[in-house]
Amino acid sequence: MIKFDFNKYIDKFLDKDSFNKYLRLKGDVLEKFSLCEMIGWTREIDKDLVNRCVELSKKVKANSDCLVVIGIGGSFLGSLCVNEMLGKYFNNDQFKVIYAGTTLSSKYMDELLDYLRGVDFTVNVISKSGTTMETKITYELIKELMKEKYSDSEIKERIIVTTDKEKGLLREEVNEVGYESFIIEDDIGGRYSIVTPAHLFPLAFNIDLDKFIEGIHDGKDLINEAYMYSVVRRMMFDNGKVVENFVAYEQNMYYFTEWLKQLFGESEGKEGMGCFPVSSVHTRDLHSLGQFIQEGNKIIFETFFKVENSNLVNYKNSDLHSINNIVLDSVEAAHFKGDVPCNLITIDEVNEYNIGKLMYFFMMSAAFSSLLFEVDPFNQPGVEVYKQEVRDNLKLD
């Protein structure tokens, strides 16, 4: 079950005329969306592909202690956030999936290589372009280690590549060496790629993929809610509320809010438009950012995630989860008094189905919202600017 409450504060913060104006644009926005080239993520997920992910994960489990996923941005955040939300905090008996390639920290790399020296591992390198610098450097350093540990034929068994079907260095390497590989299709960009093997394969190790995919499929029913959310966001922007704070009350939803930040930040943030996405984990951040949100610059609106059911921990005459949710309700009311409006998204529990459905809802919302800002939801020209600067300054062979 997922419930959306986007209307609560409309009377106080948003005027009815512009609200109706944006609602009338719905037909145009949906038509523009249907004409976009990069909406391959709206296709049904191929069952054979899912079976292949599951079968290959079994093979990897049989000869490895862990899977090392190398990727950045849209090539890692989706599966990481789902794995985090569905994993355990302690005594995690799940198969270990390690994420690498998101930092150039030598301390991290040195310690990672040291750790990998002592275990058997398989690598899944993921890059649609096949040229991303962080991914390339991490992959090459780990491959060097593999050469010390494994024979050529073992390395061939232990590298799985996910990339474009024709272009890029990774595809060239697959063609040359014959690694097992997956394809990220041309019409699906990184931050919308949760429906591709870039994420389905790393997820196949520990979660029920069928339920997750069922949720993604049913997310399509939330088209009206997704449009409504994008209208509210656009109107918040018009009213000077240009920062959206995604707020989780479960610590393991932290990377989900990171995924949202990328999705909205890269989709909308162009041509001077867009709401800047930030995130908080409560109650922790109430003791830091809470002050600013309550009384600081009134540029913020929020989207809270409420989970109805969780583990039972009794506390006095109540239980800890009810206390957590009472805090959520109270914070929402307090922030409202401080002129900070809040959208509320409630799920009955954190499970594969709800997460899949919510992710699809947000992908539609990010696309509709960008179209309401009249920008292309699917490109990221700004990211290319820094990449070019790095290429110009970094002289590597």
Cβ at position 200, least distance to ligand PA5 in Å: 15
266 is catalytic: yes
321 is catalytic: no
102 binds ligand PA5 (CB under 6 A): no
Helix pair angle (254-268, 77-86), 10° resolution: 150
**Among the listed residues 79, 83, 135, 343, the single contact to ligand PA5 using CB under 6 A:** 135
Nearest Cα neighbor of 340 from 249, 244, 268, 273 is: 244
The one catalytic residue among 12, 107, 287, 337 = 287
335 binds ligand PA5 (CB under 6 A): no
Q: Between 124 and 354, whose beta carbon lies closer to ligand PA5?
A: 124
Cβ at position 4, least distance to ligand PA5 in Å: 25
181 binds ligand PA5 (CB under 6 A): no
* Contact between 299 and 243 (Cβ < 8 Å): yes
69 binds ligand PA5 (CB under 6 A): no
* C-alpha to C-alpha distance for 132 and 64, rounded to whole angstroms: 26
* Contact between 263 and 363 (Cβ < 8 Å): yes
191 binds ligand PA5 (CB under 6 A): yes
**Among the listed residues 102, 127, 279, 369, the single contact to ligand PA5 using CB under 6 A:** 127
Nearest Cα neighbor of 1 from 366, 365, 358, 363 is: 358
Q: Between 191 and 306, whose beta carbon lies closer to ligand PA5?
A: 191
280 binds ligand PA5 (CB under 6 A): no
72 binds ligand PA5 (CB under 6 A): yes
* Contact between 96 and 112 (Cβ < 8 Å): no
132 binds ligand PA5 (CB under 6 A): yes
387 is catalytic: yes
* Contact between 256 and 32 (Cβ < 8 Å): no
Paired with 121 in beta bridges are 66
The one catalytic residue among 84, 134, 180, 266 = 266
CA 280 from chain center: how many Å?
15
Nearest Cα neighbor of 183 from 40, 79, 36 is: 40
3-11, 107-115, 189-197, 273-281 -> range binding ligand PA5 (CB under 6 A):
189-197
* C-alpha to C-alpha distance for 369 and 43, rounded to whole angstroms: 20
Q: What is the DSSP string of 220-240?
A: GGGHHHHHHHHHHHHHHHHTT
Binding site for ligand PA5 (CB under 6 A): 72-75, 127-129, 132, 135, 189-191, 266, 380, 383
Question: Which residues are designated catalytic?
Answer: 266, 287, 387
